[in-house]
Amino acid sequence: IFFSNVQDLLSAIDQEEAVDNFLNIVLITTLIRVIQSTSLHPRLALLTGTISQAMDDFWHSALLIMLIMGSFAGIGTWRFGSELEMFGTWEMSMQTLFMLTLGHFDDIGFWGTRSDMAAFFVLYVVVMFLLVLNFLLA
């Protein structure tokens, strides 16, 4: 009887995942329909038209940002991964760099104690904020 209850529980979990996937599709479809309907109003159509024309530039900027962040995450994992948990894996390095991009400096005192870490941090900030922001605005 125990195994039949476990099977029932597993089938309920599978069914819930299927319902969640279906609801995600419904919500994404609804979002797309809302965005499409905003183009009917003249003032909102100006905004949605501008965004749709700028999507190509946004796409290239996002690709550039991801490539630069991925490269810095690889360097951070290679250089600091064995010593620091926040650079232990490539994914953790990406998360750390993303949080740095947002201005979340938890271990700001630690950055100043090591010259290689400070150089990495300064180079990352210079490249991400000055160059990528310039690419995005140009």
Cβ-proximal residues to 20 (8 Å cutoff; 6+ apart), any chain: none
Predicted local distance difference test score (pLDDT) of residue 39: 79
pLDDT at 112: 62
The token pair at 110 is: 């630690």
- Give residues with Cβ within 8 angstroms of 99, minimum separation 6: 106
Two tokens, residue 38: 């905003």
- pLDDT beyond 70 at 4: yes
Widest CA span in the chain: 67
**Domain segments of the chain as ranges:** 1-40, 54-137
Give this prediction's pTM.
0.67
Q: Which residue has the tokens 């159509």?
A: 45
- Cα distance between residue 48 and residue 88, in whole Å: 41
pLDDT digits (tens, 9 = 90+) for 50-107: 888 888 888 888 888 899 999 999 999 999 888 888 889 999 999 988 888 888 877 6
DSSP state of 126: I
d(CA 53, CA 20): 33
pLDDT tens by residue, 97-138: 888 888 887 765 566 677 888 888 889 988 888 877 777 676
Q: Is the pLDDT of residue 9 over 80?
A: yes
Domain 54-137: CATH class, spelled out? mainly alpha
Residues 6+ apart with CB under 8 A from 125: 100
pLDDT at 110: 64
Q: What is the pLDDT of residues 20-61, one digit of tens each?
A: 999 999 999 999 888 888 878 888 888 888 888 888 888 888
| pLDDT beyond 80 at 11 | yes
Separation between Cα atoms, residue 68 and residue 63, nearest integer Å: 9
